[in-house]
Structure 1
């Protein structure tokens, strides 16, 4: 059996879990997340913990028990604490500005780039070269950060572009004559 799937998920105070036949709903301070239940995995609530187990002893059911457990743990973590990704802009004249649910980027193009944020996701710019994307759903936060980074990924010669705060960009040496 999956080692990850065997571990129980601790449900903190203020987080409400509802397990139906076809979906699992987790509600907390940061919002509500819903995920479809997988037919090869059974989920039970035992006190202040969730227990995930495979329905049968097939390899696929075993693998899915670990996957579902990790997804549910991320959902519980998201509605209680939330997830955030930090991006930084490196380059002369590169600026970001959050306006409600929109992110305006000036990143060296002839036009500003505007990215609309979906519901449940907030964006902040503490400084003009910093972007913080926050939300309850880990997958949506990570995907949005990747989409914003894809507008102008860091280039290898000067390092200009949008990068994650903890990302290390290897700078190449220019060609010598």
Structure 2
């Protein structure tokens, strides 16, 4: 039995959920999200709760129940509160700035790295060494943050690069002199 899949998803005030078979659309104060799910589960709304039930007792439907419940919950949280990922830049001369909606990164290369802002995502740069990626889709926010981090991932000797806030960087010792 899926323990997560059995939990109901609570729908907060101001969020409307429309369920048509396996297609779910969620509208809230921050925007609208839509998704079509697997046929192995049934999604229904009872009052202010959304329940995800399995159609049979197979291992696949058990896995799908937990997955679909989590994805629906992320959609509801995204349109009501939104998601954000925080990134930090470590290194001499490494800095970030906003140019319109795009992110301008100086990462020690001979050229500036410009990352175009996709639809549904916004960047904030509170200071020149911190970046905040915001949006309503948890999947898209995580993907964009990973793409920005991949421009200069942290290296293990000095720890220079872009890393998530609170991320532990495993350090290596340098060359030992005899």
User: Retained in 2: the 8 A contact 1:41–1:55?
Assistant: yes
RMSD over aligned Cα atoms: 0.9
- 2: CA distance between counterparts of 1:124 and 1:19? 34
Relative distance call for 1:22 and 1:44 in structure 2 (3 A) is: closer
Q: In structure 1, the residue corresponding to 2:168 is in which secondary structure?
A: coil
- 1: CA distance between counterparts of 2:105 and 2:115? 8
Residues 4-153 of structure 1 mapped to structure 2, 5 A cutoff: 4-153=4-153
- 2: CA distance between counterparts of 1:96 and 1:133? 13
- 1: CA distance between counterparts of 2:160 and 2:27? 40
- 2: CA distance between counterparts of 1:116 and 1:91? 23
Q: List runs of 5+ in structure 2 lacking aligned partners.
A: none
Q: In structure 2, the residue corresponding to 1:84 is in which secondary structure?
A: strand
- 2: CA distance between counterparts of 1:8 and 1:100? 41
Q: What whole-Å deviation, never above 9, does each CA across 1:122-149 have from its counterpart, x for those lacking one? A: 1010101110000000010001101100
Deviation at 1:99, TM superposition (A): 2.4
Q: List runs of 5+ in structure 1 lacking aligned partners.
A: none
TM-score (normalizing by structure 2): 0.96
TM-score (normalizing by structure 1): 0.97
Displaced runs of 4+ in structure 1, greater than 3 A?
A: none
User: Retained in 1: the 8 A contact 2:9–2:50?
Assistant: yes
- 2: CA distance between counterparts of 1:20 and 1:61? 19
- 1: CA distance between counterparts of 2:100 and 2:134? 13
